[in-house]
Chain A
């Protein structure tokens, strides 16, 4: 697969000396959906702003479609569409005009037919003559997307597109993202909702305190980090784990009625059969057995915690 966006050792220190990006390197593949996952203040917006030209990098380089974002800023920026984190629109302007403005600003010849397509795709066509201030919050977010798409970018940045939006709109947003991907647009979105990354991304990058901790295919990441947990529920509580079960590294639940066993789904043997045999031999009676897959959330918490320690 070809690389459409390449980031090399990107650093950003703000005027107050705060280093928001501490040497980020990342290659983004054409046509993929990359989710950048990280807590508030991780540097997600700073990363996007630096790529898009809103802040200037302190050092490092970024190329978009082979064009350096500073040396060849016109060619680079023409390929990029940006949907910012905060809703920022001229309240008195009409929807159609503000989208036309965006297209012109990016140097594209006026083409109302194309703008109609974009507005229809985002269910905004009926609102084209409305002033922005007459729209709901969800509609405004769509207008931001329409503006970002007005010049037919190859790469789209969505900075927390679903922060603070209701469930329905979030589903709509995911659909829009899926359609754009089908149309060949490369999408980089930031989020601090793990379920979002899990639901729509091809690859996931985890960022914290200005550092990219990892970037991996979503499925691989979950499999690699994925550990399963087996809860053995007992009919009668016990106070200590029998010595004969010591080799299984079990944990005893607080109420004494559950034994917790953790295993790696990729190991040759999970050890479940021997565990259950040993449990029976120890004279314990089972009430139920439950398995759980650790979610991306747990993986994420582990990573971020590991980083802060």
Chain B
């Protein structure tokens, strides 16, 4: 393993983040506060409680997931897309590094940034609602796995994309709808039975359900299934990335 190379990539990517640290900090705080003002007060006043949890507290896990998923994708996709766009990717390709090292560097940095923002949102939310975390280790595991797996997906998007439009295509057309329809702001059990079944085909449901379970012990699907789903998703992304580097798809001509 070329550890020096992994460290170099990771540090280089994090430097970009630290240059705009204030921005990275303020925007999640602001957007979280807005969610509580809008959803918490407007909708929350109609929906008092969901299964014994106040509506404001109920949406916190979903809110964190929403931000973490979107940020993981955009961090990782831009991280690898920029070198392609600027042409600096020549250096990665000519360096004594293999794909595992490149992925650890870029995906690791993207996941770290998303994790940081996730924690900022968690802390911000605790000022608005009473949070309780019943299973802190499971919570941490879900959070870290989500950051990692969606950073892997972002990495794939960044390699696949050949322009900036395509970069926002996957997050906006695929991931956003899946997250909003994935029980971020409601419990699946509130839907009509047919839609409950349809929803089970949405992978994000498993993610949010598992994450919410780690807070309140409430789950739409069994927590084991949630873990399996995210592990499977991570495995799928890893397989795609392995294939990309083996074939040189879109990076090595």
Chain A interface residues (CB < 8 Å from chain B): 14-15, 52-56, 73-78, 80, 82, 84, 86, 88-93, 97, 100-110, 147
Contacts and interface: CB of A to CB of B under 8 A. Distances in A.
B8 A90 contact: no
The 5 closest A-B pairs by CB, nearest first: A104-B8, A88-B87, A74-B96, A52-B94, A77-B96
Which bucket holds chain B's interface residue count?
A: 20 to 34
B9 interface: yes
Contact of B88 (A55, A77, A90, A110): A90
Contacts of A104: 4-5, 7-9, 11
Given A52-B94, A103-B8, A105-B9, 19 more contacts: A53-B94, A54-B90, A54-B252, A54-B253, A56-B252, A78-B96, A82-B94, A88-B86, A90-B82, A97-B15, A100-B8, A101-B8, A101-B9, A102-B91, A105-B8, A105-B92, A106-B96, A107-B4, A107-B96
B5 A107 contact: yes
Interface in B74-115: 82, 86-88, 90-97
Given A106-B5, A107-B5, A77 B90 contact: no
Interface of B: 2, 4-5, 7-9, 11-12, 15-16, 19, 82, 86-88, 90-97, 248, 252-253
Contacts of A84: 87, 90
B248 A56 contact: yes
Contacts of B9: 101, 104-105
B5 A105 contact: yes
A47 to B, nearest CB: 14
Given A73-B96, A105-B91, A105-B95, A90 B86 contact: yes
Nearest to A104: B8
12 contacts: A52-B93, A54-B90, A54-B253, A55-B252, A55-B253, A56-B248, A75-B96, A91-B86, A93-B15, A101-B11, A105-B9, A106-B95
